[in-house]
Structure 1
């Protein structure tokens, strides 16, 4: 039996249980016991956790929602949590001995949050933080570079070309578009090389759609990734790493009415449905989890990631991208997968913070 989960509303907090595959075998039921020291209620209360969210990217609202959700679960677990925007007062807050946090959880989506820059700042301020280091973040943030890295690690990824906006101006937009259609072929998926939440992304099934698709893409970045669109099942696999042990959560299938998991489908409760685990063969489920772990390790990621795939008509997972700061809102994929695996979010997020504290991550460690 596959658990079918409709898009949750804003009040959704219930865990998703009864997660079984076609063989009725129970998937992960609960989190493994942590090897780090579990802090007492008093120790948690006396620890200062700072969640950074907001910023000025196109994904500001999503970031704020992610930040408040994570902060709320940490507070439920007894931590002392503060939230701070990405603004001119942040550095003063980090450097002030009275407000200097014990751990930062950066939940900035989009530029600055996922391109490594905020992590460079945190390392210069000597503040331990949850998540991948700056160099790995930059690698994953660039979709073409990430595709090359995972391809070398043995993963499949759709054929693509990378073209800056200037190329269309200098060579002539019509000629470049004709070349794309003749060389790469239709359908195509157009997306900015850097960015998230499917902003500026368009599925192109007709050559006449390409000019507008390029305009939409360049509204969010000056370089486009033009990728051969793969028809199949869209699946997301989240990876959590506590005490150095990385675990892939059950693959989550995304089923949208129009076949595209765009911004509205991601953050607006409606007809989009999740299936946990994805409705693919057991062997493919195992392969998806293994490949998500491979991508996590090949890209040098840490603590948390989410990798998106399309399982093509031949049952082959095709890597699309890895996210170093997955959405943590009430409609986001990683929390749904964690709930389906039997985790309690307050306990899970607490374990991640305790894991960082136990590792003494100072000066970029």
Structure 2
């Protein structure tokens, strides 16, 4: 039987493009070439796609390597996007695959969009009784400065310190500020607004435990044992994740059986509620005996320090086998 060809998409237009390239290099290294052929598709900041011979060419492809969306179905049988962040993870790229009728790995357009927009995601889950920290949000589009000032005053009156101010649509903790003095709120809003038009405020917890769970599957799911992050800094921001390398992990997390069961059952519930497919990572906060759902990451990282492959490895699925399983789940 002829081997299928996989189009590995990486790069993209978001502030996480460099992380995407690192994830892609790891996948290239661990890819099972005995089962599949591999085509490297680099999405440049200029919004053009290029087929590369080597991931090291990322950032400076030649004109001869450029392809169009119409070439997708000719060049590969299935797409594997590892494009973290805006446009690559929020349903935009997934929509291109749908238009070109190319099967692809991971969440569909709707679930990608839903899980990427933190404000919409959290609002959606309120009706399903999922425990979350208190939050509020504001869409800055069409708003006057007085509207923003009024919202900031509302946050001061209804939240306790610390408060997290986040862009509603961003990943890898880019643009997030932990506010420990209400005088810093406006500055935090300006920082978040650099990355998105919609701003989210979340009630911070005091010394929460950060718990993450990996999920693999469409209808029948493999749900990993929860893992825990031990943070070296004030919170798990971009530098802590990818530069300072001070964060330790424990897999499995040291949890009581009841907490572990609740986390795993909630994971299954929200994965299906949000119509997730293929694979995702579900993140929680644990504080004072309560479990709070934080977010679903529909395109988790595949770097050397990424939790998703580490959690799956603990479930008995090697990095190479994990990639092959994800490809088999493509729709």
TM-score range, shorter chain: 0.7 to 0.9
Greater shift in the superposed pair: 77-86 or 283-292:
77-86
Alignment partners' CA distance in 2, 1:98 and 1:216: 40
Alpha carbons 1:252, 1:275 under 8 Å: kept: yes
User: How far off its partner does 1:49 sit?
Assistant: 0.6
The secondary structure found in structure 2 opposite 1:196 is coil
Greater shift in the superposed pair: 335-344 or 144-153:
144-153
- The answer to whether 1:121 aligns with 2:96 is yes
Q: Partner residue of 2:216?
A: 240
The secondary structure found in structure 1 opposite 2:40 is strand
Alignment length (residue pairs): 311
Q: Partner residue of 2:178?
A: 203
Q: Partner residue of 2:147?
A: 171
Alpha carbons 1:147, 1:319 under 8 Å: kept: no
Change (3 A) 1:304 1:208: same
Alignment partners' CA distance in 2, 1:207 and 1:68: 42
Structure 2 unaligned blocks of 5 or more? 51-65
TM-score normalised according to structure 1 size? 0.80
User: How far off its partner does 1:257 sit?
Assistant: 2.4
Alpha carbons 1:168, 1:176 under 8 Å: kept: no
Q: Partner residue of 1:355?
A: 329
Change (3 A) 1:85 1:208: same
Q: Partner residue of 1:30?
A: none
Q: Partner residue of 2:307?
A: 333
User: How far off its partner does 1:97 sit?
Assistant: 8.2
Q: Partner residue of 1:264?
A: 239
Change (3 A) 1:328 1:97: closer
Q: Partner residue of 1:100?
A: 75
Structure 1 unaligned blocks of 5 or more? 1-41
- The answer to whether 1:230 aligns with 2:205 is yes
Change (3 A) 1:116 1:212: same
User: How far off its partner does 1:110 sit?
Assistant: 0.9
CA deviations on 1:236-265 (whole Å, 9 max, x unpaired) are: 1111116x3112111111111234011011
Alignment partners' CA distance in 2, 1:264 and 1:76: 34
User: How far off its partner does 1:154 sit?
Assistant: 2.5
Alpha carbons 2:278, 2:329 under 8 Å: kept: no
User: How far off its partner does 1:95 sit?
Assistant: 3.2
TM-score normalised according to structure 2 size? 0.87
User: How far off its partner does 1:346 sit?
Assistant: 0.7
1:120-199 superposed matches below 5 A: 120-165=95-140, 167=143, 169-171=145-147, 173=149, 175-199=150-174
Change (3 A) 1:71 1:160: same
How big is the alpha-carbon RMSD for the aligned residues of Structure 1 and Structure 2? Answer: 2.1
Alpha carbons 1:58, 1:110 under 8 Å: kept: yes
